[in-house]
DNA sequence: ACCTGAACACCGTTCAAGT
DNA sequence: ACCTGAACACCGTTCAAGT
């Protein structure tokens, strides 16, 4: 066929299609991706170094919509508790838009520009609130754990435990309160955020 | 060659070898596994349903060494804070023995007998401490997030962020306090556990 | 019962050939 | 510059054939 007059592909279109496949099936393969784009697998390599590079593009997407609180200089500074909570919620909101994507990203840490900007803002807020540098890193790490854990939770299949004979009455009663996802993971995240901030204030 | 007088393989030996491969390389393939066992790939299927079944065996291993606090009936009951902390630590210790295994397990939730026993014990402790059933589930979920997050953290490659120009002074100072893993993740886990328990007491 | 060898469908990637 | 088709090495799995 040769070169088309206007390119059929771009890195962006490839990432779009890959994300759709991940949302629909929980993963993607190069042949499936090519088919969805109406193209042959080898064509993808004109725009992207390989499969790993596509995963990196998806990682960027996962972080791309973190919106940081705009602090107007004229305004009185907000309590650090609220500022941290807003950042954590925005982080999680961006990260949780594509729940089935998250398991593909756990191999390496987030390393995108948006992520660094967010960590910077968190660090400024926490240092201003009086945390020393070591605790600042610890708190950022904990927020990471909370966001990652609850994001993975959204995509996890419903537990078949209820059927198991080994479940004791207390745990069974706790499980009986579980709501369907994504609500359950949202709820756990909010609870965790609240407990975290309360614990930090002490 | 035909059938050997004494079997060369067993599900246990296969799991052992797979775990060694995961520890060494971060993953395993059926051919590599067979080679390490001195056998042909097709032989594995006499003992194991397939690759996924091997992953399930590894999942069992990850949870297999959770040791629960033995509560002597004659003794005065321990404070729930200590009991929960002990369980969480043991959970994490078992889960973190094979850090490079954890990323392979994030697709589905833990569903082994040891896991259920641990959740049961946690639920009993929390209900006795006065948490209602919904909060009991939330706290167990949070402990899961903390253990999973810090276990994944151990295997994560060191962040190359220090080099990035986008890192601001506060975040850079926080990063400068980072110790090498696994100490860093251990430290974050202990800090998180302490913050969590403090937050829960309020 | 348990190991083997050949075979199958599939995957990620490369590259010369086309326009 | 960008798509194609053929090719390569690799993967997970099956199954008849051997003992």
* Nearest protein residue to nucleotide D18, judged by CA and C1' positions: B2
Least confident of A3-17, A99-113, B65-79: B65-79
B200/A166 Cβ within 8 A: no
- Rounded to whole angstroms, the Cα distance separating B19 from A58 reads 29
Say if residue A84's pLDDT is above 90.
yes
pTM of the model: 0.94
B127/A170 Cβ within 8 A: yes
Task: Provide the Cα torsion B14, B17, B22, B27; round to 10°.
Answer: -60
In the DSSP assignment, the letter for residue B69 is P
Taking residues B31-60, what's their average pLDDT?
97
State pLDDT tens for residues A26-79. 999 999 999 999 999 999 999 999 999 999 999 999 999 888 877 667 777 789
What is the rounded end-to-end Cα distance, in angstroms, of chain B? 68
- Omega into B182 within 30° of 0, i.e. cis? yes
Q: Residue A162 — very low, low, confident or very high, per pLDDT cuts 50/70/90?
A: low
B172 vs A108, B156, B192, CA distance in Å?
A: 20, 19, 21
Contacts of B197 in chain A (CB under 8 A): 199
Residue B41: exposure state from Cβ atoms within 10 A (0-12, 13-18, ≥19): middle
Say if residue B98's pLDDT is above 80.
yes
Q: H/E/C letters for each residue in chain A?
A: CCCCCCCCCCHHHHHHHHHHHHHHHCCCCHHHHHHHCCCCHHHHHHCCCCHHHHHHHHHHHHHCCCCCCCCCCCCCCCCHHHHHHHHHHHHHHHHCCCHHHHHHHCCCCCCCHHHHHHHHHHHHHHHHCCCCHHHHHHHHHHHHHHHHHHHHHHHCCCCCHHHCCCCCHHHHHHHHCCCCCCHHHHHHHHHHHHHHHHHHHC
What's chain A's average pLDDT? Answer: 92
Å between CA of B90 and C1' of C12: 40
Q: Which of B59, B126, B171 to mutate to test the interface with A (most CBs of A within 10 A)?
A: B171
Nucleotides of C under 7 A from a protein CB: 1-7, 10-19
Residue B158, classed as helix, strand or coil, is coil
B153: nearest Cα among A142, A196, A53, A152:
A142
Q: Is the Cβ–Cβ distance between B80 and B128 less than 8 Å?
A: yes
Q: Which helix (DSSP H) or strand (DSSP E) does residue B19 occupy?
A: helix B11-25
Provide the pLDDT for residue A76: 75
Å between CA of A67 and C1' of C11: 38
**Backbone φ/ψ region at A130: left (φ over 0), alpha (ψ -120 to 50), beta:** left
Q: Which of residues 6-35 of A touch strand C (CB under 7 A)?
A: 28-32
∠ CA B141-B67-B191, nearest 5°, is 50
Half-sphere CA count of B87, side-chain side, radius 13 A: 28
State pLDDT tens for residues B2-41. 789 899 899 999 999 999 999 999 999 999 999 999 999 9
Contact partners, residue A160, CB within 8 Å, separation at least 6:
B111
**Of A65-79, A151-165, B86-100, highest mean pLDDT:** B86-100
Q: Is the Cβ–Cβ distance between A30 and A14 less than 8 Å?
A: no
Contact partners, residue B82, CB within 8 Å, separation at least 6:
none
Task: Provide the Cα torsion A81, A67, B147, B193; round to 10°.
Answer: -10
Q: CA-based diameter of chain B, in Å?
A: 68
Say if residue B71's pLDDT is above 70.
no
């Amino acid at each position: 066929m040769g070169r088309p007059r206007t390119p059929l592909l771009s890195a962006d279109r490839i990432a779009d299609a890959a994300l759709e496949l991940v949302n629909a099936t929980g993963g993607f393969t190069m042949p499936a991706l090519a088919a969805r784009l109406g193209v042959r697998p080898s064509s993808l390599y004109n725009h992207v170094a390989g499969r790993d590079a596509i995963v990196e593009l998806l990682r960027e997407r996962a972080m791309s919509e973190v919106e940081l609180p705009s602090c107007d200089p004229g305004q009185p500074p907000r309590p650090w508790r609220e500022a941290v909570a807003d950042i954590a919620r925005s982080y999680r909101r961006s990260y949780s838009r594509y729940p089935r994507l998250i398991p593909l990203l756990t191999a390496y840490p987030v390393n995108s520009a948006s992520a660094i900007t967010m960590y910077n803002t968190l660090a400024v807020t926490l240092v201003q609130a009086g945390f020393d540098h070591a605790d600042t890193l610890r708190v950022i790490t904990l927020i990471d754990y909370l966001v990652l854990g609850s994001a993975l939770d959204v995509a996890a299949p419903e537990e078949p435990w209820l059927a198991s004979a080994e479940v004791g009455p207390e745990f069974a009663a706790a499980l009986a309160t579980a709501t369907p996802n994504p609500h359950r993971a949202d709820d756990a995240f909010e609870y965790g955020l609240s407990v975290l901030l309360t614990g930090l204030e002490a």
